[in-house]
Amino acid sequence: MRRKSNLGLFTRDQLAVLKLRSKGLTQMQTAKQLRTSRANVSMIEHRARKKLEKARATLRVYESILSFHSVRLEKGTRLQEIPSIVLHEADKFGIHLRSNLIEIIRMAKSASPSIIKEGKTIRKVEFTFSQSGKLSLGNPE
């Protein structure tokens, strides 16, 4: 019986393209190395990246199922107050978050779509954390 190698969601071609592209090769250089066309590399890479995004979305959903608790922040919450609110809520449940003050602020500031404008939240925001201390940012609205 032939043993199937563990490539996850990727085909062998997709994995080969992603590896070469991650090393900085252009699609044309990748195509030459794999003896195929640039258009084929483009298509393979596009499909692989779509699979990757779907896998990430699936993990986000799964992690939300495992979330132990959530903290909802109202519209207008000041950016500087967010870390203390989140950390205080985690402390109530005896959970040590793996994120520090700066990481929590970065998470809020880099959310997509943006949740901060002029130093305040522009809509309700939800942070969730697991028993293991993993913090994530959701968007209830």
Would you write out the chain's pLDDT as a tens digit for each of its 141 residues? 444 567 889 999 999 999 999 999 999 999 999 999 999 999 999 999 999 999 988 987 787 676 678 899 999 999 999 999 999 999 998 889 999 999 999 999 988 788 999 999 999 999 988 888 889 887 544
Q: How far apart are the first and last CA of the chain?
A: 51
The domain locations on the chain are 12-63, 68-138
* 48 burial type by CB count under 10 A (0-12 exposed, 13-18 middle, 19+ buried): buried
* 115 burial type by CB count under 10 A (0-12 exposed, 13-18 middle, 19+ buried): buried
pLDDT at position 2, please?
Answer: 44
The C-alpha atoms of residue 81 and residue 114 are separated, in whole angstroms, by 17
